Amino acid sequence: MRPRLLSSKLTPAQRRLYSSVLVFFVLIFLAMIWPVVTLFSHARPLVLGMPFFLFYLAALLVGSFLVLLSLYLWENRTGSSSDPGEDSF
């Protein structure tokens, strides 16, 4: 009856991978709010024509996209799933 975030059907290696991804997204979340965001909230320097802060947010967006995309491609290649079940569809 304990709370469980990841399926017990996962191998230890899979469990480590999914845990790391979850931690990564929690860190992204924290990076967008106070107090972490105060470290990056500057108008200058302009990067790619954008204020530094906007560039920072765009970088977080692209970073999250790439991490999730890699996970998706890895799942496709290995046939794994974050939540394996007999009745997958």
Partner 1 sequence: MGEPHRLVFGSRGGLLLSSNWIVVLAVTLGYLGISLGVGLWSGRKTSKGPEGYVAGDRALGFLVLYFILGASIFSAFAFLGGPGWAYSRGAAAFYILSYGTIGLVPWYFFGPRVARLGRKFGFVTQAELLSHRYQSKVLSAALAVISLIAFLPYLTLQMQGAGYVFNVVTEGRIPNWAGAAIAYGVVLIYVFRSGVMGVAWTNTLQGMFMMVLAWSLGLYLPWKLYGGVGAMFERLAETVPEMLRAPGLGADGAIWTWGGYSSAIVISVLGFSIWPHYFMKIFTARSERTLKRTVVFYPTFQIFLIPILFIGFAGILSYPGVEPSDAILPTILMSLDLPAVVIGLFCAGALAASMSTGDALVHAAGSILVRDFYRVLFRPDMTASQQTRLIRILVVVISGVAYYFAVMSKISLVALLLLSYGFIAQIFPVLLAALYWPRSTRPGILAGLAAGCVVTTLWNLMPQLQWEEIHPGVWGLGANVVAMVAVSLMTPPMDPDHVGQFVVD
Spatial contact of 39 and 47, defined as CB atoms under 8 Å apart: no
Is 6 a binding residue for partner 1 by CB under 8 A? The answer is: yes
β partners of residue 76? none
Amino acid at 37: V
Is 23 a binding residue for partner 1 by CB under 8 A? The answer is: no
Is 74 a binding residue for partner 1 by CB under 8 A? The answer is: no
Is 80 a binding residue for partner 1 by CB under 8 A? The answer is: no
Q: Count of alpha carbons within 13 Å of 4, Cβ hemisphere only?
A: 10
Sign of the torsion formed by the C-alpha atoms of 80, 86, 87 and 89: positive
Q: Pick from 12, 25, 74, 80 the residue near partner 1 by CB under 8 A.
A: 25
Nearest distance, CB of residue 33 and partner 1, angstroms? 4
Nearest distance, CB of residue 6 and partner 1, angstroms? 7
